Amino acid sequence: MGEATAAAVPQEGAEASASLADQLRRQGAQTALRFLTCGSVDDGKSTLIGRLLYDAKLVFEDQLAALAADSKTQGTQGGDLDFALLVDGLAAEREQGITIDVAYRYFTTDRRKFVVADAPGHEQYTRNMATGASNSELAVILVDARKGVLTQTRRHSYIAALFGIRHFVLAVNKMDLVGYDQAVFADIERSYRSFAAQLGGLDIVAIPISALRGDNVARASEAMPWHQGPALLPHLEAVAVEGGEGLGAFRMPVQWVNRPNADFRGFSGTVVSGLVRPGDALVALPSGRASRVERIHTFDGELPAAGPGQAVTLTLADAIDVSRGDVLCAAERPAQLSDQLAVHLLWMSEDALIPGRQYRLKCAARTVNCVVTELKHAVNVNTLEAHAAKKLELNGVGVANISLNERLVFEPFGQSPALGGFILIDRRSNATVGVGVFDFSLRRADNVVWQALTVDKAHRASLKHQRPCVIWLTGLSGSGKSTIANLLESRLHDLHRHTYTLDGDNVRHGLTRDLGFTETDRVENVRRIGETAKLMVDAGLIVIVAFISPYRSERRMVRRLLEEGEFIEAFVHTPLAVCEARDPKGLYRKARAGEITNFTGIDAEYQSPENPELTLDTVALTAEQSVEKILDHLRSAGVLQP
């Protein structure tokens, strides 16, 4: 490797050893700053980081030679050094001239260590920018002096503030292209501060720079004597950031139950806040079981105390049940527990967030099932105004209520980023589709408890001599679902079975009369029917449901509401052409004429079942034969008991 551009004169012997030792001691005592650079496309983020490395004398000679060669073939500066190439490592980024992934760089000056995240500017990659924000203490928001404050500027600032960043640098770049005009800088600063004031309590330092020319990057610019504030690098070296993670009571999410042999049982994890010492009283959440710390173990031996960021294994005085995902807390100040929470969300999937659809939520080491029960409003990132929305599109920000299938240990994000931040995961693809922060527990979570009843589902079903279940008939409009459902209930009635039919058209006169036929409304429609069917199964009934229910995800949701074997999916398989030829209600004719929108099979999608318990081919089978096929299945499955 070549020498750094500011390599010191070589020293020899004891003097060199002492100098090296002093330097290592100084570096060991340095504080570290994790900062994020973000802004709109072509604002100069990568160029700025490259210039920082160059001006701080942290580019080695061989790297500089490679940069000079790359600048001639791939650069955008007419053969001059293109500092962005020091950072834009992905081939796709160099070809497109944009940053796609979050590129992390580590460097050290005489005064501080730095971890810098170069976040993508294109709206398509906002989710990558959110990743960088969640790990940073300061945000450098770049603005092109020629363009001023843009939508992406506001979006990135909002997201950075949402994820707990309180220190901001407004770096107005490319001042050389506007003649270093103070008035241009002042207008941009005024516009940005007016917007940022709505984010509340931010520390903002505005600096006019030219990343390409080096003005106000590492040292003050002679071209802008009117700027009385610091240059960027001196400010980054001096800014004081709070160590919020170290404050507060002790918290440690358990990542692993350590059992190397029968004589040792410890709980391993990383301390996220507070201090812990042997003898301290702890409580394990969510179980609430209490004990005391016996010892604190590490690879290098036992410790008298452990604090934030330290990975340790705790042994406890009592053999209490603790599992991965539990959180060990200071007994006198435990974290909160809730299964109903208000949250802020950033949506990261091309498939919109729709209330009522199920996802998996991961916070610390715990993963639970959840449903976004209500999208209270979306946020306009330009004005920060709230506006009504039924779904959240890609890169949308919103405020929502979520319901979890079990109580989760949490704290508001402002108190603990480790226990206050979460991701949402698509249950089928395992892709991360959203990221968010907990605001507070909904009061109703504390007011509603499950009331145990003496007479349960088994007692109710035994009186009826049947095993309760849901027969879910799904298919296109006109496929014959309602006809089959009606005949099936008549046959079961003749067999003295206790039944109820939920028909798609009938329930829209009451239970779901407020819903339309958009994707969002269809999801909520099926959710309500699923919950109703679950109550009827609990009553011991055989429930026949005749619904188009076009989406697999919602049919899976209903299946998960019930116990194993209680959901019988019957696909009424009738080709679209046959359904349209039947058209018993004239709906296909109206849909083709444009009089009806969001009509399944015409301008709205129908997702056929992948592995239904029954497939009823209504072209090959009559309605009566389809019913006999269902009855045969019910007998073989033990639903119809003697």
Whole-angstrom Cα distance, residue 144 to residue 153? 10
Least confident range of 232-246, 327-341, 404-418, 522-536: 232-246
Grade residue 581 by pLDDT with cuts at 50, 70 and 90.
Answer: very high
Three-state DSSP class for 608? coil
Three-state DSSP class for 511? coil
Mean per-residue pLDDT for 157-165? 89
What is the tens place of the pLDDT at every residue in 586-612? 999 999 988 988 899 998 889 999 999
Mean per-residue pLDDT for 472-477? 95
For residues 168 and 160, the answer to whether their CB atoms sit within 8 Å is: yes
**Comparing C-alpha atoms, which of 327, 282, 276 is closest to residue 303?**
276
Looking at residue 8, its pLDDT comes to 40
First to last CA, the chain: 84
Q: What percent of the chain has pLDDT over 70?
A: 84
HSE of 516 in the Cβ direction (CA atoms, 13 Å)? 8
The torsion defined by the Cα of 278, 284, 289 and 292, in degrees rounded to 10, comes to 0
Six token digits for residue 178: 């506007």
Whole-angstrom Cα distance, residue 98 to residue 144? 15
**Comparing C-alpha atoms, which of 191, 187, 113 is closest to residue 157?**
191
Six token digits for residue 483: 């006809």
The torsion defined by the Cα of 54, 59, 64 and 66, in degrees rounded to 10, comes to -120
Q: Which CATH architecture has domain 23-238?
A: 3-Layer(aba) Sandwich (3.40)
DSSP 32: E
Least confident range of 24-28, 325-329, 476-480, 481-485: 24-28
Looking at residue 95, its pLDDT comes to 43
Three-state DSSP class for 532? helix
Whole-angstrom Cα distance, residue 166 to residue 241? 9
Q: Which residues pair with 106 in a beta bridge?
A: 115
Whole-angstrom Cα distance, residue 601 to residue 100? 37
Name the helix (H) or strand (E) containing 341: strand 336-347
Q: Is the pTM of this model over 0.75?
A: no
Three-state DSSP class for 60? strand
DSSP 221: -
Q: Which residue would you say has higher pLDDT here, 130 or 209?
A: 209
Q: Which residues pair with 351 in a beta bridge?
A: none
**Which residue type occupies 26?**
R
The third-level CATH classification (topology) of the domain covering 245-330 is: Elongation Factor Tu (Ef-tu); domain 3 (2.40.30)
Whole-angstrom Cα distance, residue 244 to residue 204? 19
Number of neighbouring beta carbons within 10 Å of residue 116: 26
**Which residue type occupies 391?**
K
Looking at residue 475, its pLDDT comes to 94
Q: What percent of the chain has pLDDT over 90?
A: 53
Looking at residue 454, its pLDDT comes to 79
Whole-angstrom Cα distance, residue 203 to residue 571? 59
Grade residue 28 by pLDDT with cuts at 50, 70 and 90.
Answer: low
Grade residue 2 by pLDDT with cuts at 50, 70 and 90.
Answer: very low
Q: Indicate if the pLDDT at residue 60 is higher than 70.
A: no
Number of helical H runs and strand E runs in the chain: 18, 26
Grade residue 96 by pLDDT with cuts at 50, 70 and 90.
Answer: very low
The torsion defined by the Cα of 146, 151, 152 and 153, in degrees rounded to 10, comes to 60
Q: Which residue would you say has higher pLDDT here, 210 or 80?
A: 210
| Per-residue 3-state assignment (H helix, E strand, C coil) for 371-430 | EEEEEEEEECCCCCCEECCCCECCCCEEEEEEEEEEEEEECCCCCCHHHHEEEEECCCCC
Looking at residue 470, its pLDDT comes to 96
Burial call 527-554: b when 16+ CB within 10 Å, e when fewer? bebbebbbebbeebbbbbbbbbbbbebb
Residue positions annotated with a catalytic role: 549
For residues 202 and 166, the answer to whether their CB atoms sit within 8 Å is: yes
Six token digits for residue 44: 């100069």
Q: Which residue would you say has higher pLDDT here, 169 or 463?
A: 169
For residues 468 and 542, the answer to whether their CB atoms sit within 8 Å is: yes
What is the tens place of the pLDDT at every residue in 422-463? 999 988 888 889 999 999 998 765 666 666 777 888 888 888
* CA angle 361–378–165, rounded 5-degree value: 70
Least confident range of 21-35, 189-203, 376-390, 403-417: 21-35
DSSP 617: E
**Which residue type occupies 616?**
L
Mean per-residue pLDDT for 266-278? 94
For residues 226 and 184, the answer to whether their CB atoms sit within 8 Å is: no
Whole-angstrom Cα distance, residue 352 to residue 361? 17
Q: Indicate if the pLDDT at residue 144 is higher than 60.
A: yes
For residues 38 and 127, the answer to whether their CB atoms sit within 8 Å is: no
Number of neighbouring beta carbons within 10 Å of residue 599: 18
For residues 98 and 122, the answer to whether their CB atoms sit within 8 Å is: yes
Quickly tell me which residue has 């720079």 as its tokens.
209
Q: Where do runs of H (alpha helix) occur along 216-294?
A: 232-238
In angstroms, what CA-CA distances link 42 with 31, 95, 98, 233, 276?
Answer: 31, 14, 7, 21, 47
**Which residue type occupies 515?**
L
Quickly tell me which residue has 């974290």 as its tokens.
335
Q: Indicate if the pLDDT at residue 498 is higher than 90.
A: yes
Which of 77-81, 190-194, 389-393 has the highest average model confidence (pLDDT)?
190-194
Whole-angstrom Cα distance, residue 171 to residue 240? 18
| Per-residue 3-state assignment (H helix, E strand, C coil) for 548-595 | CCCCHHHHHHHHHHCCCCCEEEEEEECCHHHHHHHCCCCHHHHHHCCC
Whole-angstrom Cα distance, residue 377 to residue 392? 9
Q: Indicate if the pLDDT at residue 97 is higher than 50.
A: no
Mean per-residue pLDDT for 543-549? 94
Numbered ranges of CATH 2.40.30.10 in the chain: 245-330, 340-446
Chain CA centroid to CA 434, Å: 3
**Comparing C-alpha atoms, which of 641, 611, 612 is closest to residue 629?**
612
Chain CA centroid to CA 272, Å: 20
Mean of all residue pLDDT scores within the chain:
85
The third-level CATH classification (topology) of the domain covering 340-446 is: Elongation Factor Tu (Ef-tu); domain 3 (2.40.30)
CATH code that applies to domain 457-636: 3.40.50.300
Whole-angstrom Cα distance, residue 206 to residue 228? 11
In angstroms, what CA-CA distances link 463 with 234, 328, 414, 634, 642?
Answer: 80, 47, 54, 18, 12
Numbered ranges of CATH 3.40.50.300 in the chain: 23-238, 457-636
Looking at residue 519, its pLDDT comes to 82
